[in-house]
Amino acid sequence: MSSHPRPVMVASNRGPVTFRVDDAGQLQSSRGQGGLVTALTGAMQSGGTWVAAALTDGDREMVARHPEGRIQVKADDTSYDLRYLAFPQAVFDGYYNNISNGLLWFAHHYLWDTVHSPLFKEDTVQAWEDYISVNRAFATALAEEASRLPEPPTYLIQDYHLSLVPHFLRELQPDALIAHFSHTAIAGPTYLRIIPDRIRDAVLRGLLGADVLGFHSEAWAENFLMSCRYVSGARVDLGRSRVVLEGREILVRVHPISIDVAPMRELASSLQARRLRQQLNRWRGNARLILRVDRMELSKNILRGFLAYENFLRRHPSWKGRVKFLALLSPSRQEIPEYAAYTEDCIREAERINTELGGEDWTPIEVRIREDYLGAIAAYGLYDVLMVNPVFDGMNLVAMEGPVLNRRHGVLLLSRNAGAYFRLGRYAIGVNPFDIEGQADAISEALEMSEDERTRRSRGLSRLVLANPPARWIRLQLDDIERVRRRRGFSAA
């Protein structure tokens, strides 16, 4: 869609840069990895600001040292402003740990054991106020930043942390062009009824403040539309994938994100990565390798993955000693009690399986819990089977990273509840993440698969990933917004 590029304002909880104070008291910054940061940065070619929450002590120090917490960042031929918002610890805790990650994340990934949880009490009421105040602060900061620009920007709001921002921003700027993108799975209307009515209604109405709502898969877009049927005054048009509320039309669009392959391949061919691959190869010996790479995250279904592997080994004892499972897990959200408990459960189960099935010269499962991006990049090169079995997942980028870096025509085991399954499913072995026996069968099928079939599938996976670079993801969203702009009669300069 031809039009001159407009300034873009991005808002996300986690910003593109992390700051730390070095021994000399200087602020040092490091840029986040991944296609999302690259894609959103690329969208700011005509200027703009990225507003995010200060997460680390270094981030807060950056805010303290710069007027309004704003600095200029240069990246990939683009220069943009970065503004971090610092919140009192208790407010941030309510907004981030309690509501964003303890309530909304749990709801959208179906994580509750509903016989016993959740129990919404006074702390939820207080935390909800914190969530509102942080979302309001984001909207206010965005409007302030926009007033410094020569022309009205396009707002790109990211994820469940900021679901009220579109609504608050619309109150401040009724004509604003706002897109919100959900990177998570989205629960269906029945499950969403678990969360307090007031919160559910505010979240849905908050999102509906946008002009365009983006999701990674048809399943999440449909769930969202179905939930909107319960928002009073909203008219849902499933056929045209839109909602009409208070005379405004809100478009619901599916734009699956992919990964930025070139920098990953470059890193994978670095000397350091090569050394790590050699080490891993020595550790693996003659065994086949099953790999998983995840955040230490409830929705990733790590425990059932171990149980499926155990089931496979018990039913196919000839594989004992001939296969190893490597789980590379980066620590995540340990402030939330369920995450700390889950981490212990995973370690305990792996140890039990190792004790019951392993021997002196063979350990069935190796669990490594640490931040180790390079280690993951190296390991991707070596797997025979990549296990990606989330309970529910908005997209899942491991399912894309693995196939473009793997050198052994490895097989992808992929949960049918991951957004990625809708894109890659035809070249993966699809699994029901709750079915232990079924996942064990899938491991067996993957390990026994013919070389021809493995080659066909792994090539297919790489092809699909490479055909959808992150720049395309952002371009399609900007095209949506441009259509809204034209329909509203804005001048298309």
Residue 381: which residues within 8 A CB-CB, separation 6 or more? 268, 273, 277, 405, 406, 407, 408
| By CB under 6 A, residue 159 contacts ligand G6P | yes
| By CB under 6 A, residue 29 contacts ligand G6P | no
Residue 96 C-beta: closest distance to ligand G6P, Å = 7
In 3-state terms, what secondary structure has residue 249?
Answer: strand
Which lies closer to ligand G6P via its Cβ, residue 11 or residue 169? 11
Residue 458 C-beta: closest distance to ligand G6P, Å = 25
Residue 160 C-beta: closest distance to ligand G6P, Å = 7
Q: How far apart (Å, rounded) are the C-alpha atoms in residues 218 and 209? A: 21
Residue 260: which residues within 8 A CB-CB, separation 6 or more? 34, 35, 38, 39, 469, 470
The mark string for 9-28 relative to ligand G6P (x by CB under 6 A, - otherwise) is -----x--------------
Give the nearest residue (CB) to ligand G6P.
183
Pairing of strands 70-75, 248-254: unpaired
DSSP class per residue in 112-124: --TTT-----HHH
Which lies closer to ligand G6P via its Cβ, residue 15 or residue 48? 15
Instruction: Locate 473 and state its tokens.
Output: 């993801």
Instruction: Locate 331 and state its tokens.
Output: 């620590």
Instruction: Locate 407 and state its tokens.
Output: 């050198």
Residue 392 C-beta: closest distance to ligand G6P, Å = 12
Q: Hey, which residues between 290 and 309 contact ligand G6P (CB under 6 A)?
A: none
Q: Exposure string (b/e) for 368-382, b if CB count within 10 Å is 16 or more? A: eeeebeebbbbbbbb
Residue 314 C-beta: closest distance to ligand G6P, Å = 34
Which lies closer to ligand G6P via its Cβ, residue 18 or residue 173? 18
| By CB under 6 A, residue 462 contacts ligand G6P | no
| By CB under 6 A, residue 183 contacts ligand G6P | yes
CB 225 within 8 A of CB 243: yes
Q: How far apart (Å, rounded) are the C-alpha atoms in residues 176 and 170? A: 6
Element (H, E) at 143: helix 122-146
At residue 365, φ and ψ (nearest 5 deg) are -125, 135
Instruction: Locate 259 and state its tokens.
Output: 């990964």
Which lies closer to ligand G6P via its Cβ, residue 83 or residue 333? 333
Strand partners, 21: 27
The CA distances from residue 103 to 38, 69, 98, 237, 327, in Å, are: 29, 29, 6, 28, 27
The mark string for 88-107 relative to ligand G6P (x by CB under 6 A, - otherwise) is -------------x------
Residue 105 C-beta: closest distance to ligand G6P, Å = 8
At residue 91, φ and ψ (nearest 5 deg) are -70, -45
Size of the site for ligand G6P (CB under 6 A): 7
Q: How far apart (Å, rounded) are the C-alpha atoms in residues 10 and 157? A: 6
| By CB under 6 A, residue 31 contacts ligand G6P | no
Which lies closer to ligand G6P via its Cβ, residue 101 or residue 417? 101
| By CB under 6 A, residue 184 contacts ligand G6P | yes
Q: Tokens 């067996």 sit at which residue?
A: 444
Which lies closer to ligand G6P via its Cβ, residue 159 or residue 401? 159
CB 443 within 8 A of CB 308: yes
| By CB under 6 A, residue 255 contacts ligand G6P | no
Residue 332 C-beta: closest distance to ligand G6P, Å = 6
Which lies closer to ligand G6P via its Cβ, residue 187 or residue 276? 187
Q: Tokens 């690259």 sit at which residue?
A: 38
Which lies closer to ligand G6P via its Cβ, residue 101 or residue 439? 101
Which lies closer to ligand G6P via its Cβ, residue 159 or residue 480? 159
Which lies closer to ligand G6P via its Cβ, residue 183 or residue 255? 183
Residue 281 C-beta: closest distance to ligand G6P, Å = 30
Which residue ranges make up the site for ligand G6P (CB under 6 A)? 14, 101, 159, 183-184, 332-333
